[in-house]
């Protein structure tokens, strides 16, 4: 398995931006499709964005399309989530995950990073 560590979360006002990073170690990062998920208080974890191992294909939840961008740098073993025009409903713990296919299942998960958007 690959080990994942997220960073970049924090408190931001509505309309602001944050960039989350997820650093991977262990097995070759470029072998994995990557995904970002989030879980808000009292809600189930939901898919946010996914990217293929090469970075050539990306997928987004409808709620974040046009505002969030997922990308990866295989040379740095890192996947990113650029979040723009943040809304209070984006408040959640954000997790990155690795799997053999972008459609899942995802076998490795990070510990999460908190994103809080104030109105």
Quick: pLDDT tens for 69-93: 999 999 999 999 999 999 999 999 9
H-run or E-run covering 7: strand 2-7
User: Which is nearest to 49 in space by CA: 9, 13, 103, 7?
Assistant: 103
Q: What does the pLDDT look like over 1-41, one tens digit per residue?
A: 899 999 999 999 999 999 999 999 987 888 899 999 999 99
| Distance separating alpha carbons of residues 21 and 84, to the nearest angstrom | 15
The pLDDT assigned to 1 comes to 80
**Which residues are 36's β-sheet partners?**
49, 96
The pLDDT assigned to 26 comes to 84
The pLDDT assigned to 59 comes to 97
């Amino acid at each position: 398995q690959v080990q994942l560590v997220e960073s970049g979360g924090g408190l931001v006002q509505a309309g602001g931006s944050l960039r989350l990073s997820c650093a991977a170690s262990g097995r070759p990062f470029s072998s994995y499709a990557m995904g970002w998920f989030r879980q808000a208080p009292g809600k189930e974890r939901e898919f946010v964005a996914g990217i293929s191992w090469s970075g050539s294909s990306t997928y987004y939840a409808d709620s974040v399309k046009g505002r969030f961008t997922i990308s990866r740098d295989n040379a740095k073993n890192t996947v990113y989530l650029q979040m723009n025009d943040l809304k209070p409903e984006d408040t959640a713990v954000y997790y990155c995950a690795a799997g053999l296919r972008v459609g899942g299942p995802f076998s490795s998960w990070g510990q999460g990073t908190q994103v809080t958007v104030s109105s």
